[in-house]
């Protein structure tokens, strides 16, 4: 175990690290294959998986989170399973049923909207199909990833309100836009959630201080780890939805431990993205896929055969080793 300010030596990390490339059954964030690095720490396996376009400075928080989870004991947990939502990429309405079939027992669906190159009509068709499939008791939340400007978001909310939305995640990019949109649509009773305004912000608490969100979407890796994420939620004083960043079961375990450590968990969490992969790094029986609408809180151990089968080309392995080397120097 390390002291709070210590980090394991680079050579130790690289010796313990394995790189994998996981194919997706549905394109997500423009990707059909997700590369990530797995590291076996003294406390268990951990994951470093910032997206390829993230620079080294932004990726440093992700490495801090990975090393904390692999080298330090987790904080006390108050639950052993986490209810999760299905995540639906911006697919055509005709593909909705196929994608949702991968999620076992999920009562909530997060629908991606405002996809570049698509229109509001595409979003309406997709959401209408989801509502048809989940029925009146199912929960639908939308995620725009900041893809609308203020007026577009207001127009979209009025058009989509008929589908009985649980909340609207990051409809606009800036905190000021979120605050103004929340003021404009308050009478509709649709909460506004902040994601990028938390995980990609220099000050993740600014959105709460500005009264720009009703709840926070929190990801452990971008915030720098379990303890940092717990502190942000506590100081913000807002309900939190714990979410993932398209991670393997090893990375999902970090998010599950965060969700399990929160005193309250009022929303289903976005921790079922393993269901977007064709395969996982652990044996199927141990994969943190949704089962009955929940995932368990545990530390999965990658399967040696899968680690070997999912290895990318040597050039990509070296790319990740070089990336970890650069980012480690910034810690």
What lies within 8 Å, CB to CB, of 137 at 6+ separation is: 107
CB count within 10 Å of CB 237 equals 9
Of 177, 96, 78, 173, the C-alpha closest to 138 is 96
**Known catalytic membership, residue 112:** yes
Tally of CA atoms within 13 A in the half-sphere of 227 that contains its CB:
11
* Identified catalytic residue from 64, 126, 182, 219: 219
Q: Which two tokens stand for residue 13?
A: 């990390």
112, 257, 289, 323: which one is catalytic? 112
Query: What is the dihedral sign for C-alpha 317, 320, 326, 328?
Result: negative
Active site residue 110: no
Contact present, 246 and 29 (Cβ < 8 Å) = yes
56 is in an annotated binding site: no
151 is in an annotated binding site: no
Please tell me whether 169 is known to bind a ligand.
Answer: yes
List Cβ neighbours of 136 (8 Å cut-off, separation of 6 or more).
Answer: 164
Residues with catalytic roles: 112, 219
Task: Output the known binding site.
Answer: 143, 169, 195
Task: Output the known binding site for Mg(2+).
Answer: 143, 169, 195
């Amino acid at each position: 175990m390390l002291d709070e300010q210590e980090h394991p030596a680079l050579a130790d990390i690289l010796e313990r690290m394995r790189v994998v490339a996981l194919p997706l059954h549905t394109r997500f964030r423009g990707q059909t294959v997700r590369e990530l690095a797995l590291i076996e720490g003294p406390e268990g396996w951990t994951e470093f998986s910032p997206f390829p376009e993230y620079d080294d400075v932004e990726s440093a928080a992700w490495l801090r989170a990975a090393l904390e989870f692999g080298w330090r004991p987790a904080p006390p947990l108050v639950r052993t399973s986490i209810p999760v939502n299905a995540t639906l990429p911006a697919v055509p309405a005709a593909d909705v049923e196929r994608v949702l079939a991968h999620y076992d027992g999920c009562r909530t669906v997060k629908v991606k909207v405002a996809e570049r190159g698509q229109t509001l009509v595409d979003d309406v068709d997709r959401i209408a199909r989801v509502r048809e499939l989940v029925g009146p008791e199912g929960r639908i939340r939308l995620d725009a990833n900041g893809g609308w400007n203020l007026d577009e978001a207001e127009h979209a909310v009025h058009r989509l309100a008929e589908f009985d939305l649980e909340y609207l995640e990051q409809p606009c990019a800036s905190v000021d836009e979120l605050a103004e949109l929340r003021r404009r649509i308050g009478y509709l009773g649709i909460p506004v959630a902040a994601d990028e305004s938390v995980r990609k912000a220099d000050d993740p608490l600014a959105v709460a201080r500005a009264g720009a969100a009703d709840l926070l979407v929190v990801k452990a890796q971008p915030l720098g780890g379990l303890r940092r994420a717990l502190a942000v939620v506590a100081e913000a004083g807002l309900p939190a939805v714990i979410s993932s960043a398209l991670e393997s079961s090893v990375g999902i375990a970090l998010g599950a431990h965060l969700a399990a450590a929160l005193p309250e968990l009022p929303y289903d969490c976005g921790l079922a993205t393993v269901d977007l992969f064709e395969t996982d790094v652990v044996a199927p029986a141990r994969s943190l896929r949704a089962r009955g609408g929940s995932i368990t809180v545990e530390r999965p151990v990658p399967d040696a055969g899968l680690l070997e089968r999912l290895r990318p080309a040597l050039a990509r392995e070296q790319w990740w080793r070089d990336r970890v080397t650069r980012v480690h120097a910034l810690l």
